[in-house]
Amino acid sequence: MTASLQRFTTAILLTAMGAVTFAMVAMGLHIGHLVTALWLLAPLAEALAYLVAFAVYLPMTTVLLRRRRIAAGAAGLVLTIIGLTAPVTLQFTPDLRVPLRFHLERFAFTQVADLAHEGKLPAGQIHSYLGAELPAHLCFVSANCRVSALGASGGQPILFLPDWLGIPDDAVGYAHFTGEATGNLTAYGMRVCPSTRLGGGWWWVGPC
């Protein structure tokens, strides 16, 4: 194999491994969405994702290491370690997952708040039990693709984006306060309180 062809195939291998790693990290960050969507089948979906990841990482990392290119081999190992450890780490360390997900997706949270405060989402639906449906390109910030109101703060609705929803009730997630963050809130029938300040008026709200 010529050097140029080897470099080309190495780039393809690392790109494929990067795509799998991105998907595994996204699964860890949105584990609440996965549980909401699949409920009891969520562990099966996680196991399937790990099987696919192993099927990609094992042969590709082996190829990269056999080529004895230190940079490429190291990059492959790093992608493999991140892809296999990130989902579990994020799932069981919410103190890490919650702010990390918020800051990575802050642009989308900001857009939701702007749309609501500019009246571009139906106010009547926001104040309903299920809330207003989000535009398709913002669905990933909410476990049910909806934003609802948990009350009012500073003359504006307290916007709520669920990170996880129970069956049939209860929810935890991200809330936006225009004024002071209060603790007397109910999210889909569950009493919740703001516990982690995230910035820009956004808080994580969970069980009180």
pLDDT score of 193: 94
> Each residue of 118-134: pLDDT tens digit?
989 887 899 998 899 99
| For the ranges 9-13, 100-104, 179-183, the one whose mean pLDDT is highest | 100-104
Tell me the one-letter amino acid at 20: V
pLDDT score of 2: 72
Asked whether the whole model's pTM tops 0.85, one would answer yes
> Each residue of 161-172: pLDDT tens digit?
999 999 878 999
185 with 151: CB under 8 angstroms? yes
pLDDT score of 69: 80
Residues near 170 by beta carbon (within 8 Å), at least 6 away in sequence? 187, 188, 189, 190
pLDDT tops 60 at residue 1: no
- Please state whether the peptide bond connecting residue 168 to the residue before it is cis, i.e. omega within 30 degrees of 0: yes
> Each residue of 172-183: pLDDT tens digit?
999 999 988 877
